[in-house]
Structure 1
Amino acid sequence: MLEVSGLRAGYDGVEVLRGLDLRVEAGEIVAVLGANGVGKTTLNKALSGVLRPLGGEIRFDGARIDRAGAAAIVAAGLIHVPEGRRIFPDLSVRDNLLLGSYRRGRARRDVNLAHIYEIFPRLHERARQRAGTLSGGEQQMLAIGRGMMAEPRLLILDEPSLGLSPLLVEEMFALIRRLNAEGLAILLVEQNVVQTLEIAGRAYILENGSCALSGPAAVLRNDPELKRTYLGL
């Protein structure tokens, strides 16, 4: 579904990603892990058309998108839920969700909205509430729900557990499992190594803008180099 080959990207002539290769197959959860500053956010921006790559190729369903604009990428079904939620705080919960279908999914907006409310009952309860008054966990639900309103074929989740309590982190990972069980392919970009590797099928570990380790998540979970470098064990 997604194939990244030799991706180079950065800012003001400084490369952050240095020849990154990555792929996501239909229906799987693929994790991208690494510490702050290794290029995870740069990767997401390049995939979603916010940042123009310096080199390499990005293909989605076989078509090149590395020179496409963000609107065209959204229309193709590659949806990015950014780090930090990026909701519209002065709009209602419902209006935030409806904005998710602005470019894609408008024809089935009411059906999709009902589905989001079924997944997130708390959003239904707070549909008319200003989004900025929600808790951190509820805002993360809203950000994911807004992404789901665009009927994603591949959903990029950027640090969905960031800033959440341990209980809400558990709920968030359970939600990701549920979305994937419904057939949705997910690229999960996280710093939470342990729980991410428990739900992912495959994983890529980034270091200094390139892939340091990759393979089945179950194998990487028991890799001594991963434990030493990323878990301090």
Structure 2
Amino acid sequence: MDEVLLSVRGLVAGYGQTQVLRGLDLDVAPGEIVAVLGSNGVGKTTLNKALSGVVRVGAGEIRFGGERIDALAPPAIVAAGLIHVPEGRRIFPDMSVQENLELGSFRRGKPNRAANLERVYATFPRLRERRGQSAGTLSGGEQQMLAIGRGMMGEPRLLILDEPSLGLSPLLVEEMFALIGRLNADGLAILLVEQNVMQSLAVATRAHVLENGRIVLSGTGAELAQNPDLEKAYLGM
């Protein structure tokens, strides 16, 4: 890979004495969708939190745009353009849709707030219709749109999407993966961390399967979709 936006080498991270990630290597190039797949409890969310500076890195290094970020605080990582849309949406339910979106540009993208807001509303027309509505009254799918829109407000160079399809109906899951494809087609690099295997592989440039804090299977999305070892690696059987 000639150019790397995100480079992770030998990453070790966890909580207290509990080691969750055990020497993980990962790259994301500009314009890629890289999927990280795995069942519950294998370390996917810990990876996202370590990349975002929320969980302390025990060993290894994380480079973003060529600069080490593993010792930086979360606001500095956001300011660099690595933006994490967390599992569970984490919107502010008592604030309006527009207020939630505007908060996304607090650390990065503030000079272009109006233009970015218009871009988000063009991407998510339903949010425009509900811009004065309390975010907590939105449907689950609309809240996920809001969480992604808030991430877009920060002008991400790399967007981490943590389980974006979680809790959505099958129809909304289809819409969500179509949206991910459109965002990527506009040039946005995405790290997609999901349990939804086949739909993730359908949009991913490359993919990795995580098991017990280590990557056990890697390849292009198309290669992994055809790999007979995928079920064994994914289910740990």
- Same fold per superposition (TM over 0.5): yes
Structure 1, 210-219 or 182-191: larger mean CA deviation: 210-219
| 1:20 aligns to 2:21 (yes or no) | no
Cα distance in 1, alignment partners of residues 63 and 151 from structure 2:
21
Cα distance in 1, alignment partners of residues 130 and 103 from structure 2:
16
Partner residue, 2:33: 29
Q: Secondary structure at the match of 2:217?
A: strand
Contact 2:7-2:63 at 8 Å conserved across structures: yes
Cα distance in 1, alignment partners of residues 35 and 233 from structure 2:
17
Deviations 1:115-135 (A, max 9, x none): 000000000000000000000
Contact 2:8-2:24 at 8 Å conserved across structures: yes
Report the TM-score, using the length of structure 2 for normalisation: 0.97
Partner residue, 1:128: 132
- The Cα shift of 1:52 comes to 1.0
Equivalent pairs counted in the alignment come to 233
Structure 1 unmatched ranges of 5 or more: none
Q: Which of the numbers 152, 165, 186 marks the counterpart of 1:182?
A: 186
Cα distance in 2, alignment partners of residues 228 and 105 from structure 1:
43
Partner residue, 2:102: 98
Report the TM-score, using the length of structure 1 for normalisation: 0.98
Q: Secondary structure at the match of 2:9?
A: strand
Contact 2:42-2:213 at 8 Å conserved across structures: yes
- The Cα shift of 1:96 comes to 0.2
- The Cα shift of 1:229 comes to 4.3
Cα distance in 1, alignment partners of residues 38 and 50 from structure 2:
17
Deviations 1:83-122 (A, max 9, x none): 0000000000000000000000000000000000000000
Structure 2 unmatched ranges of 5 or more: none
Partner residue, 2:113: 109
| 1:69 aligns to 2:73 (yes or no) | yes
Q: Secondary structure at the match of 2:84?
A: strand
Q: How does 1:138-157 map to 2 (within 5 A)?
A: 138-157=142-161
Partner residue, 2:216: 212
Deviations 1:164-184 (A, max 9, x none): 000000000000000000000
Which amino acid is 2:181 matched to? R
Cα distance in 1, alignment partners of residues 117 and 57 from structure 2:
34
RMSD across aligned C-alpha pairs, in angstroms? 1.2
Q: Secondary structure at the match of 1:224?
A: coil
